[in-house]
Amino acid sequence: MLPETNRLKHRKDFSAVYRKGMRRNSAHFSLRALRKPKSAEFAKPTAEKSLQPTRTGISISLKVSKRAVVRNRIKRQIRAALRQLLPRLKFGWDLVIVVRPIAQECNYAEILQELEQLLVEAEVLDGNSRGSIL
């Protein structure tokens, strides 16, 4: 599981990302990303700390598979990939990963690679880190 502070849970948060966020697409996923305004709650002397942690949600419909087992397996793999990428994510973003039906054919390495590429395109991954995971 992702840490509590990195989870996007409420319907209003998902709706805001869908309405106002930018979209990046790949073969198996669609990424919606919305930069959050700075919050007084997390205000610290440095600019990095004045932003809230990045929160992520996963949207996977019945069109992907009618079987919950398949949908849940895909969600677990996406969460594991996000956990691996979490230290490199910039602060202050809300992300929604929309899974496309063709994603059933992906293995974990492909999921990790595609998510990393989408996050780089959306400029959500921190560029000062050690580079590609794969």
Residue 32 sits in a domain of what CATH number? 3.30.230.10
| Total tally of structural domains belonging to the chain | 1
CA dihedral (81, 125, 101, 60) positive or negative: positive
Distance of CA 33 to the CA centre of its chain: 8
Does the pTM surpass 0.95? The reply is no
For residue 127, being part of any structural domain is answered with no
**Is residue 132 one of the residues assigned to a domain?**
no
What's the average model confidence in pLDDT over 94-112?
A: 95
Residue 125 falls within a domain, yes or no? no
Q: Please, which residues have CB within 8 angstroms of residue 129's CB and are 6 or more apart in sequence? A: 87, 88
**Residue 130 included in any domain:** no
More confident residue, 127 or 36: 36
The verdict on residue 133 lying in a domain is no
Higher pLDDT, 50 or 59: 59
Q: The domain containing residue 80 runs over which residues?
A: 4-119
pLDDT band (50, 70, 90) for residue 126: confident
16 pLDDT band (50/70/90 cuts)?
A: very high
**Does residue 129 fall inside a structural domain?**
no
Residue 87 lies inside a defined structural domain of this protein? yes
**Is residue 111 in a domain?**
yes
State how far the alpha carbon of 48 is from the alpha carbons of 39, 45, 71, 126, in Å.
12, 9, 35, 12
